[in-house]
Amino acid sequence: MKVIEKLNNAKNPLISIEIVPPPRGRTVKDLTDIVEKLLPLNPAWIDVTAHASHADLIEQEDGSFQRRISRKRPGTIGICGVIQNRFKIDTVAHILCLGFTKEETEDALIELNYLGVENILALRGDYPNFEKRVSKDRSVNHQAYELVQQVKDLKTGKFLQELEGSLPLDFCVGVAGYPEKHQESPNLMTDINYMKHKVESGADYIVTQMFFDNKHFYNYKAECLKNNITAPIVPGLKIIRNLSQISRVPKTFHVDLPESLSEEILKNPKHVQEIGIQHCINQCRDLLENKAPVLHFYVMNDASQVVKVIKALGL
């Protein structure tokens, strides 16, 4: 089932989860173990992140360096297929602009359609640390709205090249929102204008970057409505679980931690997990009181904390 259908039909708040593929060289069992722990939570859907290729310099025996390009976390499509068909949980495959051509994107969407996956999250992605050569017979999406438009074209059966006997590919498309603005946007209003462009291009719903102070989410929703953005907005949540994250999370994801949260962790570093869980519980209760349609948890590769949060909420 499509995410937008779940959002429109839900009578009670939903739970959704985001996980990351295991590192290159590992197996899908790393992910299935996590999914099995999440099954009792009855997640409405599971997002699976995607990662473009990355260049590393490998030192050779003669002291020279050779550039090696690889994807450190491959397998998004396969993992979606396993979760969708083995566990019967709807999946959302992350699809990136940067690092992939339109032709590669179309191939990925065709494969996802074969596997019964009906949902994608359209993302620009981070700039790669090398320049990928694109042949003259290939094309690229530079921004997320262009990717949304490509998927919208496939809904009408418009492929990059005419395919004999092809049928339309009908995907539900989510896009990313940033309550504290995207790091590259000069201000929040500019960022919201970008969001309006993505929704007008065909996006069905919005899922936000993680935030730790609900006032950012409420302000973002209000500003979206002022600008006639009426797509459902799903709040993204992350649970702080170790001391290093109070500096690493703001730096990596360009978000603020409330002073009360960081101070409590610094005063009681041995209890950081309990503090992180309780803060998330408080966030969730407030969001549910304010009619949030779904709680979306960035689990990554550790399900234990979110299980505790959901049990405490009684969902």
- Three-state DSSP class for residue 34: helix
Among 5, 18, 111, 146, the active-site one is 18
* CA–CA dist 257, 203 (Å, integer): 29
Cα-only R_g, the chain? 20
Contact 76, 94 (CB under 8 A): yes
Best CA proximity match to 184, nearest among 98, 259, 114: 98
| Catalytic annotation present for 264 | no
CA-to-CA separations, 77 to 74, 95, 198, in angstroms, rounded? 9, 10, 23
Contact 196, 230 (CB under 8 A): no
- For residue 281, what are its two tokens? 């519980």
Residue 296 CA, chain-centre distance (Å), reads: 10
- Three-state DSSP class for residue 212: coil
Contact 94, 121 (CB under 8 A): yes
Residue 190 CA, chain-centre distance (Å), reads: 21
Concatenating the DSSP letter of every residue in 62-131 gives TS-EEEEEE-SS--HHHHHHHHHHHS---EEEEEESTTS-HHHHHHHHHHHHHTT--EEEEE--PPPSS-
Annotated active-site positions, please? 18
